[in-house]
């Protein structure tokens, strides 16, 4: 039986790409997430774009200093599946170099969860051990964790906006999911975006409501006996030989 492991992860990028270019999530959202994680005593993975790391170095340092995992989310949220191989490779290298100024990066998540298979060996070459770009709800509908192309592939369980659904509905969803549970959301979801001119799924229950729901999820998972941890640590605890 798969151990009860749950992962919290945050894709650190501009607000609701590609619809907005603002970065309210950085100044307002990310510090609030870090405060909640610290209060709850939980470690998470933060997949930064190199662009956000460059613009907000103090926040990357805070993430690393507080014991969270720093992962890569590409250079500036480029769609890797829409780039040629050599351009994609160049940006992955550049992003990795930028992020490793702050600490080791062993985990990767592609922007929009779009990672062409041909880039798996590039990630291995760059020293990544875990990829979390697959999603259980998207083709090829992975049923669990597997090793492919030398990387441990830890698929996300549900899309990010699920974490903003009313709790009584969310609770049913979480209870029905099979471990390991892998959640992701974004700093901008913890900023009040309800009046922003963007599509509804980028707006509903953002801000304080999302923050309270995050806290509630952490407490719920603990109550169910889940160990809440980072992407890399989850792979290690599942028995894969990765160094975190």
Among 13, 51, 98, 233, binds Zn ion (CB under 5 A): 13
15 binds Zn ion (CB under 5 A): no
CA–CA distance, 78 with 56 (Å, rounded to integer): 19
Q: Among the candidate windows 13-21, 59-67, 92-100, 164-172, which touches Zn ion by CB under 5 A?
A: 13-21
Residue 11 vs 189, nearer CB to Zn ion: 11
Burial of residue 112, with CB atoms counted within 10 A of its CB: 0-12 exposed, 13-18 middle, 19 or more buried: middle
98 binds Zn ion (CB under 5 A): no
Residue 18 vs 57, nearer CB to Zn ion: 18
Residue 199 vs 219, nearer CB to Zn ion: 199
Three-state secondary structure call for residue 88? helix
Q: Among the candidate windows 22-30, 80-88, 111-119, 201-209, which touches Zn ion by CB under 5 A?
A: 111-119
CB 9 within 8 A of CB 232: no
| Number of C-beta neighbours around residue 127 at 10 A | 11
In whole angstroms, how far apart are CA 62 and each of 33, 55, 65, 67, 91? 12, 14, 5, 9, 25
Residue 111 vs 207, nearer CB to Zn ion: 111
CB 152 within 8 A of CB 242: yes
Work out how close the CB of 224 gets to Zn ion at its nearest, in angstroms, rounded to a whole number: 28
78 binds Zn ion (CB under 5 A): no
What six digits make up the tokens of 10?
A: 């945050």
Work out how close the CB of 177 gets to Zn ion at its nearest, in angstroms, rounded to a whole number: 21
Residues with Cβ within 8 Å of residue 18, at least 6 apart in sequence: 77
Residue 11 vs 233, nearer CB to Zn ion: 11
Among 25, 111, 187, 207, binds Zn ion (CB under 5 A): 111
Q: Which residue is nearest to Zn ion (CB)?
A: 11
Work out how close the CB of 36 gets to Zn ion at its nearest, in angstroms, rounded to a whole number: 20
CA–CA distance, 80 with 73 (Å, rounded to integer): 11
CB 187 within 8 A of CB 29: yes
Work out how close the CB of 26 gets to Zn ion at its nearest, in angstroms, rounded to a whole number: 13
Q: Among the candidate windows 6-14, 36-44, 79-87, 212-220, which touches Zn ion by CB under 5 A?
A: 6-14
Q: Which residues bind Zn ion (CB under 5 A)?
A: 11, 13, 111
């Amino acid at each position: 039986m798969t151990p009860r492991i749950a992962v919290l992860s945050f894709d650190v990028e501009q607000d609701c790409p590609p619809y907005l270019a603002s970065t309210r999530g950085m100044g307002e959202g990310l510090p609030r997430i870090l405060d909640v994680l610290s209060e709850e005593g939980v470690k998470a993975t933060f997949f930064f774009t190199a662009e956000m790391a460059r613009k907000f170095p103090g926040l990357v340092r805070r993430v690393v200093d507080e014991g969270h995992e720093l992962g890569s989310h590409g250079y500036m949220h480029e769609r890797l599946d829409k780039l040629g191989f050599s351009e994609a490779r160049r940006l992955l290298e550049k992003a990795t170099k930028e992020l490793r100024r702050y600490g080791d990066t062993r985990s990767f998540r592609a922007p929009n969860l779009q990672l062409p298979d041909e880039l798996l060996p590039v990630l291995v070459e760059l020293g990544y051990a875990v990829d979390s770009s697959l999603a259980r709800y998207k083709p090829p509908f992975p049923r669990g964790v597997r090793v492919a192309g030398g990387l441990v592939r830890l698929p996300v369980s549900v899309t990010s906006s699920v974490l903003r659904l009313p709790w009584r509905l969310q609770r049913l969803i979480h209870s029905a999911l099979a471990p390991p549970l892998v959640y992701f959301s974004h700093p901008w979801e913890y900023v009040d975006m309800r009046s922003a001119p963007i599509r509804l799924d980028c707006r509903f229950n953002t801000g304080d409501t999302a923050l309270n729901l995050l806290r509630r999820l952490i407490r719920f998972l603990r109550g169910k006996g889940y160990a809440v941890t980072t992407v890399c640590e989850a792979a290690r605890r599942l028995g894969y030989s990765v160094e975190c």
